[in-house]
Structure 1
C-alpha cells in the first residue's frame, strides 16, 4: 500500500510539474490585457526572445531635463511579459534630473554604475527619504510613491533601474500638471501657485489652457 501511494504521488507530481508554464513571451501583434500580452507560440521561440541588447548605448541627454531613460519593458523586450520584472538604463548628464514621478505598476531598485546621484522618495505619510549615492550603491523606491534622481556630481552619471513589473508605468508630476490642456484656473486652485507661474510652466513644458 505504501509503495502504491508513493507511485501515485510521483505521477501526480510529474503531471503538476509538466503543467507549469515557464514563460509567456509577449505577442505584440495582439492587444494588451490587464494580465499582460498573450503568449507567442512556444514552437516559434528562439534564444533571441530571451536576449535584449538595447541598453548598451547611452541615451540622448540633450533635452530639457538633461537625462534619458532607455527601457527594456514588455514593449521593447517581450520576454519579460508575465514575469514580474523589467529593467531600464538611466543616463544623467551634468545637471541632469529625473523630476518627481511615480510608477503605479511596480517598485523600483536603482544601482549606480558611474558618477554621483542624489535620489529620494516621499512616503504616503509625507516622510522624505533621500541620499547621495555613489558607484555601487543601491536604493529602493516603493511602488506608487513620488521619487526623483539628480546628477549631483561633476561628470555624467549612469545607473540601471529594475522594476517588479514588466510594465511599471510612469507619470511625471510636472508634465501631468503643466504639459497638457488642464485649465490654468484649475491648476492654480489645486496647487496654490499663482496664474503667472502656472502659465510660465505650461509654456516651458508645452501645455496650454
Structure 2
C-alpha cells in the first residue's frame, strides 16, 4: 500500500494517466475536483467530488482530475500497491518521438 498527497491551485490539472499495477482511491481533503476515468468500453465516468468524498480508479484505467473550485484543493490518494507505476498519457504519446504525421492522423489535428 502507498499514499500520495496532491495539491491543486484553481484550474490545476492532473493530466490523464493510469497506474498499471494498482487501483487508486482519491479522497478530497479540501476543495472541489472534477474527477473521472474511462472504462474499457470507452465510457467516461466523471463527476465533481468535494471535501469528504471519494472516487475509485480501477487498476490500468485512464483517469484525470481538475480543480474546478476558486481556491486550493487537496486530495489524499491511496494505492493497493507499494509500487503502482505511473503512465502519463500526454508525455507518453507526445513526448516519445512518434512521428508528427502519425499523431496528426490519429488525433485528427495539425501541429
Please tell me the TM-score bracket, short chain as reference: over 0.9
Equivalent residue number for residue 19 of structure 2: 103
Match of 2:48? 132
Query: 2:71 aligns to what?
Result: 155
Structure 2 Cα separation of the partners of residues 146 and 93 of structure 1: 22
SS at match of 2:21: coil
Match of 2:36 in 1: 120
Cα separation, 1, equivalents of 2:107 and 2:8: 31
Structure with greater proportional helix content: 1
The TM-score normalised by the length of structure 1 is 0.51
Q: Give the superposed CA RMSD.
A: 1.1
Query: Deviation at 1:192?
Result: 3.3
How many residues end up aligned between the 2 structures?
A: 111
What secondary structure, in the 3-state scheme, does the structure 1 residue paired with 2:93 have?
helix
Take 1:143 and 1:149, find their aligned partners in 2: how far apart are those partners? Answer: 16
Q: Give the one of 77, 94, 97 matched to 1:181.
A: 97
State the 1:131 CA deviation.
Answer: 1.0
Q: Greater Rg, structure 1 or structure 2?
A: 1
The 2-side partners of 1:192 and 1:123 are apart by 19
What are the within-5 Å matches in structure 2 for residues 29-68 of structure 1?
none
Q: Give me the whole-angstrom Cα distance separating, in 2, the residues matched to 1:147 and 1:182.
A: 23
Q: Which residue of 2 aligns with 1:89?
A: 5
Consecutive unaligned residues of structure 1, counting only runs of 5 or more, are: 1-84, 197-209
More RCO (CA 8 Å, sep 6+): 2
